[in-house]
Structure formats: structure tokens, C-alpha cells
């Protein structure tokens, strides 16, 4: 089973590295960038994330749903760019994926 982490982001260069570092063990990271004017997209490239740009016109949920549509994993963890998965939660997720 594969895990996709999905993130909708806009101008999150100050938070994004912490978020991505905490989930770099995932099989896939999908980020929908809401036309950021900062280095959000460049940071995503450092983590080999799949990046799409979409102007949500103020609806973050639109970009969250778009990220989920682009994800290919059987399991999806949807995060905000300022969220950080704790090591304990990461271990629980990995164990849950291994269990049928």
C-alpha cells in the first residue's frame, strides 16, 4: 500500500520545509500551489513533490480536493502547509499501512 501526502499551499515558504521534512518518508507528496509569489514551488521541488499550480480564487478546499485527485496512493494524508507530523504519528501511520 502506498501513502500519498497532499498539501494545498499559498505563500508558505516559512512553514513548508518543516511540513515536508516530517513526511519525506511518504511514497508521494502532491502539492497544489495557489499561485504563490514566494519560494513555495521551489521548496517543493527540493523534496521531489508533484507540483500543480491552481488559482483557487480564495477556496483552499478547491486546491485540497485537486491535490487528492492527483494523488495515486491507496492511503492519503491531507495536510496544511503549516502542519507537522510528529515522529509518533508517522510511526502509527506506517504501522497502519502495513496492517491489512
**What is the pLDDT confidence band of residue 19, given thresholds at 50, 70 and 90?**
very high
Whole-number pLDDT of residue 58:
87
For the domain made up of 3-98, the CATH class stated in words is alpha beta
Q: For the whole prediction, is pTM greater than 0.85?
A: yes
Residues 6+ apart with CB under 8 A from 51: 31, 32, 33, 41, 44, 45
Whole-number pLDDT of residue 76:
98
Q: What confidence tens digit (pLDDT) does each residue in 31-69 have?
A: 999 999 999 999 999 999 999 999 999 899 999 999 999
Answer whether residue 100 shows pLDDT above 80: no
Amino acid at each position: 500500500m502506498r501513502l500519498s501526502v497532499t498539501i494545498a499551499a499559498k505563500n508558505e515558504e516559512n512553514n513548508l520545509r518543516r511540513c515536508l521534512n516530517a513526511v519525506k518518508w511518504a511514497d508521494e507528496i502532491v502539492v497544489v500551489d495557489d499561485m504563490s509569489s514566494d519560494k513555495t514551488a521551489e521548496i517543493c521541488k527540493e523534496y521531489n513533490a508533484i507540483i500543480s499550480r491552481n488559482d483557487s480564487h480564495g477556496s483552499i478546499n478547491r486546491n485540497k480536493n485537486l491535490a487528492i485527485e492527483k494523488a495515486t496512493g491507496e492511503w492519503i494524508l491531507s495536510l496544511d502547509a503549516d502542519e507537522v507530523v510528529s515522529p509518533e504519528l508517522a510511526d502509527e501511520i506506517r504501522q497502519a499501512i502495513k496492517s491489512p
